[in-house]
A and B are shown apart, each in its own frame.
Chain A
Amino acid sequence: MASVNQREKNSQPKSNKKLVIRLLWLVVAAAVFGFALVPLYNVLCSVTGLNGKTNNTADLSKTVVDKNRLVTVEFTSTVMPGLGWDFYPQQNRITVHPGQVETVNFLAKNVTNQPVVGQAVPSVSPGQASLYFKKIECFCFQHQELKPGESKVMPLRFYVSPSLPQNIGTVTLSYAFYSVNK
């Protein structure tokens, strides 16, 4: 009995060490998986439009206007903390045929006494519709700078792709304007 016990005592630490190392690898794998979820999520989103990001470049040449269908497009705007602007769309909603190119103006005014640079970030709801919302020209494509007290009309030219799923009748486009600290 005693000798069996002695033998176990000697072999124990070694096999413990092996198991500990394996488990540590498991920890590392879990950590890597956690970080890998970031690109995986982005890929998933760009394929499915899950998070409402609109990163599509418009290709006008192939677009046919679908006169038999009407889609309501709504606009909302948010000024994020730290950006001293007024910012709102000139019209809250518009009804368009899929494929029809429209222009909507947003108004921005710097109400502070110093020049401010901002960046608008768009988001489309429902998320699935983001794949079918095509922007031709947008103030969100680059940074916008406003001098103290300056107002600016910011146009958005867009169309809704005719392949928008039939069950979606209303698309909401939301802009959040962030300040760009330089």
Chain B
Amino acid sequence: MFAVLIDQFWSLTIAGVALGFIYVLVSLGYTMVYGVLRMINFANSEIFMWGTFGTIVTSRDIFGYTQTSAPATGPKLALVLISQLLMSMAVAGLTAVFVEFVAYRRLRAKGTNRLATLISAIGISIVLSEIMRLLTSSRPVGSPRVLEKIILTEVWGANIRLDTIVTIFAAALIYFLLERFVKLSRMGKAIRAVSMNEDAAKLMGVNLNRVITTTFLVGGLATGAAGFFYITVFEYTKFNIGFTMGMAAFTAAVLGGIGNIRGAFYGGLFLGLLEVYASAVLGTQWKAVTVFVVLVLVLLFKPNGLFGEAVQTTRA
């Protein structure tokens, strides 16, 4: 039973960390919006899906890569990858702002109850996914290979592959930049102020609408970056991939303590590793069961998630 885990431990760990970082970035989309609005942005999963398509459109339609063309090298490689990343972030960021305008802003201005916003967010997520379904005739879309998956070296029997290394380091960098932004910038401080006490922040002259839009934008940018890494590693997307990813990222956010950026980080990594180890040891059919058993156990003992208390005390 544990033979696979022992034999392939480092391969699994690297794969789990790469997957975990993708989860981290998508959970940021959930956790930041929750921090400010105390509401789940159910459309975040579709924002992610739109980001993946942004990535593919860039390499396939703008740079003209096909399934059979050779991977890029040198400066061209950097140019294509960075364009893909920026496009994915732009598409996802704008979609997130659009979601905020359509599903949240007006309802908030009218002072409707929270459930109405919840439904409008679910509604817009269905619209986003159906639009993509119609555009792609329900078919999966493969991504041309831009970054060659070279095996760089072998460490303790595990292949260190270029795409996983790029994903891990670049995603960690993006996370770090976002965390700094929220911690140090003026806008970041405003976001945290609204998160702690909306009324007090308003009284202090914080422009609430601008803070909320920025939060959606930043969450969307993180989610879009995740879309880029997802395509670079898995080279595949479909109109309905958002659901599984959204479920996992939401779980990661809750596991780490929703509303808390550090919580998303640890929750995402923990979930990525847990999924991979559980699949290898118990069989992939037990992956979801294991994840949710662990989630329930964590919530039993730490009802606010692993890092939820930090938020609770600051809010009290």
Do the two chains belong together in a single complex?
no
